């Protein structure tokens, strides 16, 4: 059984896509009850760097990627049904070698 949600009920979806790196990464914002914000997206093959304001949890729901958190030397591989956390006011590099990596990003705290 999958560890990640397969359906979000009672939500608002922002229809304007968040497009990064010339379409290498595309996501949509989902607003849940209780002022909870998530994004659902895909990452195409390539290497991309993101900065964070709020702390984030990235759940990989399909595909594979490699991640290196800012300030760390170790790159870690992630696949479906795995996740990693990124501290607030930080960043991470994410690489996809082949195929499409699908993810859910949950914003865990407000930026300081």
Radius of gyration of the chain (CA): 14
Q: What is the pLDDT of residues 86-107, one digit of tens each?
A: 999 999 999 999 999 999 999 9
Question: What is the domain range of residue 91?
Answer: 12-107
Does some domain include residue 100? yes
- Mean pLDDT, the chain, integer: 92
Listing DSSP states for 88-100 in one string gives TT-EEEEEE-SS-
pLDDT the model gives residue 108: 86
SS3 state of residue 58: strand
pTM of the model: 0.89
What's 25's domain CATH number?
Answer: 2.60.120.10
| CA–CA gap between residue 83 and residue 101 (Å, rounded) | 12
Task: With respect to residue 35, please indicate whether it lies within any of the assigned structural domains.
Answer: yes
Average pLDDT estimate for 3-14 = 80
Give me the number of domains the chain comprises: 1
pLDDT over threshold 50, residue 112 = no
**Tens of pLDDT, residues 38-47:** 999 999 999 9
């Amino acid at each position: 059984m999958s560890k990640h949600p397969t359906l979000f009920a009672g939500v608002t979806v922002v229809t304007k896509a968040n497009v990064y790196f010339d379409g290498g990464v595309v996501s949509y914002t989902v607003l849940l009850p209780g002022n909870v914000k998530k994004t659902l997206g895909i990452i195409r093959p390539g290497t991309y760097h993101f900065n964070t304001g709020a702390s984030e949890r990235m759940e990989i729901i399909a595909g594979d990627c490699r991640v290196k958190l800012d300030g760390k030397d170790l790159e870690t591989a992630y696949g479906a049904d795995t996740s990693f956390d990124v501290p607030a006011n930080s960043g991470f590099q994410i690489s996809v070698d082949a195929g499409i990596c699908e993810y859910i990003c949950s914003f865990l705290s407000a930026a300081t």
